Structures are given as structure tokens and as C-alpha cells.
Structure 1
Amino acid sequence: MSEFYKNEKTAQQYIQMTEGYDPSLMQALFSKWIKTTDTILELGSGPGRDLEWITTNYEVEGSDYSPFFVNLLKEKFPAMPVHQMDATALETDKSYDAIFSNKVLHHLEHDQLAESLQQQWKALKPGGKLLHTFWWGAHEEEIMELKFKYYEIEDLKILFEEQFEILEIYRYDEIEEKDSIIVVAKKK
């Protein structure tokens, strides 16, 4: 993972970049696939944009690699468990009904993503679900010291299908037309 989010100045830049975030896609996915009684872990909670609405309807725990964001989340959501966690190692002794991330796992190299999925499989209860979003494409780039790995749908299918049944996978519009991919999968 990049050191970008560990630096308060660059983390604040990220917070400004995500102003005006529209949570409607994630809200729709949750209402379709996640029960309000499910226990949920968010990987890479950042400043808590998704947590702002999830905590009103679901039992959720936040996590982030960045100590800055972990402290921010603990201040913002004092009743919610928040963990400093690497999405690759996913060091937890808990099990969850669902794990999700919104544009987080694209910072991982291919082998790191495969390891993260293996660790997520271990942390999910039987029949547990994953909801993850990625940038679509077949390239890598670095923006403001952050590495981005873009994925094709077929590449994600290969990574997920070994341990998960894919329930939904499709491209959607975030900034540009069809620039993103959503994956919803169930533990086999």
C-alpha cells in the first residue's frame, strides 16, 4: 500500500477530492444484497463517506491502512469499531456476513489482490458476500504518488471465481462512461 494516505496533508487532499460523493450505487447494492442484520467490514474506509449512511441501517466495522483515517473515523463514529488494517493481510479473528470496499483494492498489485481475496474468504461466514468496486481498464498508472491498477471484467472473474460465486459483475459510470466495475460475490 502507498504511503500517500499515511500523510495527513495528502489524506486531507483526498478528503477534498471526494467532496460531493454520491453513495446511491452502494446504497442500492446494499439494499439488494445485504440484510440489515448482517455484520459488515469495510476495507479502506478513508474519511467515512460510505459509513455515513451505512451506520444508520447496518452493523458495520470500519478499517483503513492509514492511521490518520483510523483516528478520524474513531472521532467521527465513536460507537463503531474501527481497525487499522492492511487489505492484503486482513488480520482479524472476527468473521463477517459481508466485506466491501469502494475503489480501494485497485491500489493492490495483482498478487496482492489475490492474497486479499483469500484472506477475505477466511474472514467471511459461510455464504458471506463481497461487494467491491474497481476502475475498469487494462493498464496501471501513478497519480499523486498513488498506484492504480485497472481491471478488465475477465481478469476479475478469474481472481474471484476460485473461491467465490459471482452474483453480479458489470461496468458502470462513475466519472466517465463505463469507467468502473462492480463485483458482488458469495463465498463458496
Structure 2
Amino acid sequence: MPTTDYYEINARAYFERTNRIDPAPILTPLLRHLRAGSTILDIGCGSGRDLKWLKGKGFKPSGLERSPTLAIMASEHSDCPVSIADLFEYQPPIHYDCILLIGTLVHLAKPEFPQALRSVMRMLKAGGIMLLSMKAWGGSEKSEDGRVFQLWSDSELRREFGRQELTILEHTRSRSLLGNRDVWLGYILKSGQ
């Protein structure tokens, strides 16, 4: 089953599993780098959990989600606009102050990663901020449900960020908030363009 089908077919279960997690540990560091009222695009917004949290902090978030069912659920849950589109095809109505990619690019094959970063950067304002998280280690892994996850080392990601003229403002390494064995690398990045 293609990964996009997984999220559409399992939208309710995915919503329930991810929505109950407090996003504060992930999102609070970002607040140091944004002004009140900043526009934020959450790509792969899933349940809308982060949209709701950011809206409650006075930001202007909107979402982008490939799964139509998740997009509707996220919009209803967060009371934020959510567009249904693919990252590579999306034509944003504005350039954003900040873009979130929280676990969004984990299913992309590594050769597609640079193109994804370029697609995201064209949606950012000059000097915009990006919050990106990826699964740690190296290679790839297949989950019991058939999804393939790309695993990254810090050095691989730093190399890609350098190629795209992204400056690392903050870096974290943390265990998954879902309570499993996954380790996540988190980066707050600033666009040089």
C-alpha cells in the first residue's frame, strides 16, 4: 500500500494517536525565533494538533495535507484553513514567515530530499524560519504496517542544509513523544534567501 493511502485509510486512528500528544516540547523552542502574528504553514499537518497550539499562541497558522480526510479533520479540530495538496505541487497564496515539517519528509527517498527543501524554501519569506524533524540513524526501515521511513544522520542533514544555504539556529535529539523507540533529530533553520 502506498504511504499516502495509509494515511487516508487510517485517518481516524492516526488522528487519535497523534492529537493527544502535547506539542509544547517540539514547538516552544520555535517561539524564540518568531514575532507575534507570524504566518506559519504546517506541511503534513496531520491531526491539526500543532495548528491549534500555534493559533492559541497568537500566530496565523494554516495547514497543507495530502490526505483529504486528515485535512478536513485538522481544519475542524484547529479552526485553521487546511489545503489539500502535495508539497511539490502546492502554489501558496503567500510567502510564509515559518514552515513546519514535523516528520513530514520521513517517507521521501533520500534523493528527493533536496528537491523537497527547495520546494519549501520557495514558500518562505526571505530569512524565513523552518522547523524540521527527521528520524535518526541511517538507511531506512519498514514498519509493521508497510510504511517505509528514511533514517538520517546529523551529518547527512547538515550537509543538505549547507547545500540549500540553510543556517541551523537550534538542534535537538529526542525520543519520540509517542513512547516508542524512535529517536528524532529536530532543527530550527533560517533561510539564507
TM-score scaled to structure 2, two decimals?
A: 0.86
| Aligned: 1:185 with 2:186 | no
Q: Which residue of 2 aligns with 1:4?
A: 6
Give the distance between the partners of 1:17 and 1:69, measured in 2 at CA. Answer: 13
Q: Which residue of 2 aligns with 1:53?
A: 53
**1:92-111 → structure 2 map (5 Å cutoff):** 92-111=92-111
Aligned match for 1:173, one of 156, 175, 178: 175
Give the distance between the partners of 1:2 and 1:178, measured in 2 at CA. Answer: 21
Q: Which residue of 2 aligns with 1:146?
A: 147
Q: Which moved more, 1:53-62 or 1:175-184?
A: 175-184
Identity %: 24
AA at the equivalent of 1:5: Y
AA at the equivalent of 2:163: E
Cα displacement (A) at 1:114: 1.3
Give the distance between the partners of 1:178 and 1:74, measured in 2 at CA. Answer: 28
AA at the equivalent of 1:39: T
AA at the equivalent of 1:183: Y
| Aligned: 1:114 with 2:118 | no
Give the distance between the partners of 2:182 and 2:8, measured in 1 at CA. Answer: 30
Give the distance between the partners of 1:116 and 1:95, measured in 2 at CA. Answer: 16
Q: Which residue of 2 aligns with 1:32?
A: 32
* Unmatched tracts of structure 1, length 5 or more: none
Give the distance between the partners of 1:127 and 1:51, measured in 2 at CA. Answer: 22
Q: Which moved more, 1:121-130 or 1:178-187?
A: 178-187
User: Are the aligned partners of 1:90 and 1:116 in contact in 2 as well (CA < 8 Å)?
Assistant: no
AA at the equivalent of 1:108: L
Give the distance between the partners of 1:88 and 1:169, measured in 2 at CA. Answer: 26
Q: Which residue of 1 aligns with 2:163?
A: 162
Give the distance between the partners of 2:30 and 2:65, measured in 1 at CA. Answer: 20
AA at the equivalent of 1:125: K
User: Are the aligned partners of 2:49 and 2:74 in contact in 1 as well (CA < 8 Å)?
Assistant: no
Cα displacement (A) at 1:65: 0.8
AA at the equivalent of 1:181: L
TM-score scaled to structure 1, two decimals?
A: 0.88
CA RMSD of aligned residues (A): 2.0
User: Are the aligned partners of 2:174 and 2:183 in contact in 1 as well (CA < 8 Å)?
Assistant: yes
Cα displacement (A) at 1:145: 2.6
AA at the equivalent of 2:22: D
Question: Judging changes above 3 Å, is the alpha-carbon distance between structure 1 residues 165 and 118 closer, same or farther for their aligned structure 2 residues?
Answer: same
Cα displacement (A) at 1:93: 4.2
User: Are the aligned partners of 1:2 and 1:147 in contact in 2 as well (CA < 8 Å)?
Assistant: no
**1:61-100 → structure 2 map (5 Å cutoff):** 61-78=62-79, 80-100=80-100
Q: Which moved more, 1:50-59 or 1:123-132?
A: 50-59
